[in-house]
Amino acid sequence: MFDFPFDSTVDYDFFLGGSVFYRAIFDIENKSTFNFGVGFKYKDSYSLELKLGGFNGNSPVSNAGEISYNTVSLLLGFTVF
């Protein structure tokens, strides 16, 4: 699975007494990630899949620091029909 990056901006206006007293603008940058999965099916009924993925880099919210995460998923399945 590939994640294609896009850029957005979130604007927050904080009001006090009917007028804006603080404006916060966050630039959100979607970072690319990569996931890999492998699986198999046994006797057309049972399935097993292992997915691995992760991200290393700057936070998608500007000036929020660096983040890192890894994921491991194990999916078990059963086909009824």
pLDDT in tens, 31-80: 667 788 999 999 989 999 999 887 766 565 555 666 677 889 999 999 98
Q: With beta carbons less than 8 A apart as the criterion, state whether 39 and 50 touch.
A: yes
Q: How many structural domains compose the chain?
A: 1
Which pTM was predicted?
0.50
In a domain, 1, yes or no: no
In a domain, 19, yes or no: yes
pLDDT value of residue 74? 94
pLDDT value of residue 63? 59
Q: Which residues pair with 54 in a beta bridge?
A: 34, 70
In a domain, 54, yes or no: yes
Percent of residues in the chain assigned helix, strand, coil, to nearest 5: 0, 70, 30
In a domain, 2, yes or no: no
pLDDT value of residue 42? 92
Q: With beta carbons less than 8 A apart as the criterion, state whether 28 and 60 touch.
A: yes
pLDDT value of residue 34? 74
Q: Residues 54, 73, 6, 10: is their CA dihedral positive or negative?
A: negative
Over the stretch 9-33, which tens digit does the pLDDT of each residue have? 778 888 888 787 888 877 766 666 7
Domain limits for position 71: 7-78
In a domain, 47, yes or no: yes
